[in-house]
Amino acid sequence: MAAIKRLDPRHGQGIPEFLKEITTLSHYTHDNLISLLGFCYQGDEMILVYEHASRGSLDRHLNSPHLTWPQRLKICLDAAKGLSYLHDPRETHQRLIHCDVKSANILLDDQWNAKVSDFGLSIMAPANEQQSIIVTAAAGTPGYCDPQYAITHTLTKESDVYSLGVVLIEVLCGTLCFTHSINGDIEKNFVRTWIESYKQKKLNDIIFKNETIQPLDQISLETFSNIAYRCLEESRKDRPKMAEVVAQLETALDNQDFSEWINLRIDYEEMGKTVESPFNCSFKDEVRKLLLNGVLLKGGKTVIRSNDLYSLYISDVKYSSTTIIDLSDK
């Protein structure tokens, strides 16, 4: 199976974009970048052959009731890893600014692994420069494009960070960041509204919800929303590096995995009856926070979760006779 892209010069897909795609995907290889299998240039025909991403692009799945939160977080993490590889070069390759990060350019394979695609607007920059600033006529997609571009007419690696931040919020809310008018123009952009919801601590009002999937853990939500908001900072210097985005998304995914695992095995109401200082276990995020430090049970028994997220230590409590639970074998 392969994906075939036939370029159309009438839609801005000319020889420069064709050659840039070939050059980029020939030099940059990563598990989270789409792979180029071959190309054809004959007469007026320009054709690119890619690996087949069977599930298509992320924008088609934002409101899917079948996509769980661990899968959603993993998709975001994969995309960030691909971009981090481009931004933080090792050995000989030059830094690459994608310039058109959006959910439509994040492709998904049959295992829901995400791969960044479409490098027709990408720009190479010197690897040893602290700030890669490129003056360019190329612009990203409205709704995703760094607002500083309209002011400075420059794109930087921080512009990619902003665009990924928009994608993160799209995944969180389960919808595209804009609506179209009848003639195809952007009618409404939701990014500012989403930022205000974050500032007012009203994310639970806009987060994607579906009764078929387990809700997003509140600790994961806090970690995920914090890094997404920082990506959307107005000032480029205040935005995180892509490597930090990767680290924070890994933490959010770990927390969600642990939350879903522990919810299957702990009776929170029963646990609430056994602790020395009773608390309301309907707030599972509070229980999770307590488990991080250990909970003193009646009779001096304790429940402790180790900091490495791989073990849960339990001593003679009603809901489990297991002394040590290994979380790594999931």
Could you tell me the end-to-end alpha-carbon distance of the chain, in angstroms, rounded to an integer?
Answer: 32
Distance set, CA 259 to CA 20, 42, 75 (Å):
43, 55, 18
> Could you give phi then psi for residue 327, rounded to 5 degrees?
-80, -15
For residue 142, what are the CA distances in angstroms to 92, 115, 194, 247, 314? 33, 21, 16, 28, 52
The C-alpha angle 62, 71, 80, rounded to 5 degrees, equals: 85
**CA 105 – CA 201 distance, rounded (Å):** 30
The C-alpha atoms of residue 159 and residue 174 are separated, in whole angstroms, by 23
257: annotated active-site residue: no
Which residue in 81, 83, 73, 118 sits closest to 100, CA to CA? 118
Q: Which of 8, 78, 100, 146 is catalytic?
A: 100
Rounded distance between C-alpha atoms, residue 152 and residue 298, angstroms: 63
Look up residue 279 and give its two tokens.
């608390």
Answer for the pair 140, 99: CB distance below 8 angstroms, yes or no: yes
For helices 218-231 and 69-87, what crossing angle results, to 10°? 30
What are the distances in angstroms from CA 80 to CA 12, 190, 262?
A: 27, 22, 27
Positions marked active-site: 100
